[in-house]
Structure 1
Amino acid sequence: MEVTQANILETLPQDMIVEILSRVGQNSSDQLLILKSVCKSFLKLSEDPLVLKRLSLDRWRLSPWGNPKLIYLFNLCTVFGNPNAIFCLGLIGYFDTKYTDLGLDFLKRASNSQLKEAVYVYGVIIFASHQIEAKHVGLQILNETFPPVPELVVAVRIKVFDLMRQLWLFNRHPFDDVAMPCPISDHDGYFPQFHGFEIAIPECMSCFWAYELDVFANRFAYN
């Protein structure tokens, strides 16, 4: 019997193969699709709960409706707690349907998984509250995940806005009047200044997130 690379791979313990597939899928869903074609064992194990929980959905549209295979895969990812899939459902539920409470719950679940895009959206929503206690909760959520590096926040915001372009954004009410200053009254606010390719680091993260909230709210004016 000829020994092939596929034969050798199939002799590996299944839990090791699952771990490999999950890490590949976490970095690139395209690369996972390539591995699925290597052998029957890879094809079967690519639907292991760990693989589906970690699978990256970065290359997908916000919702896969219209493609039965993608719908099936998306639903499996959701069942097994994939933060990316749960985040997508949260965006759709909160901004694009009447099920805003359910959507917010999905966003919270994805945020608890430390998915940066989910933390950004969920934290900004809570920070948009006019209740000072809730505002501080939102600020804490954001500060625990994001260091004072504006470029990182901007990169995450760009990804979020790319997804939001696929929505009608019916639910705009939480952001109708959010041009609120920093809760610390003696602060002038955050006014980013660009120095070459860098953005000035904020002295106050509360001022910074008040500015970011204003940027997020203005997104609705162009939809």
Structure 2
Amino acid sequence: MHHAYTYLALGDSYTIGEGLELQRSFPYQTVGLLRKAGFTFYAPEIIAKTGWTTDELEAAMNDYSFLPKYDFVSLLIGVNNQYRGRDIIEYKEQFEHLLKRGIALAGGKPEHVLVLSIPDYSVTPFGQRMDAEKIAKEIDAYNTLNKALSIQFKVQYVDVTDISRKAKDKATAVVADGLHPSEKTYSKWAKEMVALMKATVKK
């Protein structure tokens, strides 16, 4: 009997794939690719909502009944902290707490936790109408923190910010709202995640 893997995705609008059907979000695309590669995966369990900040995700987790443990956990949170002009030190503290909870939910195995960097929405049509330079700078500051914490806690790190900045055709990189990533963009994220998860499954 093949082991059936479980995957928990924690986050905000980027995790549910705002503007797309849920099946086209990156957690679902990731599971789809892993199934194609011959792994048995349950549908991803997603705790995420558009607009959530770190403390709002935490509050939702406090009210949620989790499985005793998951084979994989992903965490992508922070864009709304930045967007609302929240204190970056508050983000660091709350992100660290969420990361520790993520590791605990992954059965205490940090290599089974994947932190995704915050995409740079300054390059999107939505972001271009704002102070794009300021946004890019702040997103970098946030990602410097979440990457440092990922290294400290020995979890896997997926840099999707670079993917968002390199998107040559900006129009197909986002959905109709001019802000959230398209299915095509998420498929690039999913490929990165699958490479890391496959390597971890073998361990």
Give me the TM-score of the superposition, normalised by structure 1: 0.29
Larger CA Rg, structure 1 vs 2: 1
Please state which structure has a larger fraction of its residues in helix. 1
Give me the TM-score of the superposition, normalised by structure 2: 0.30
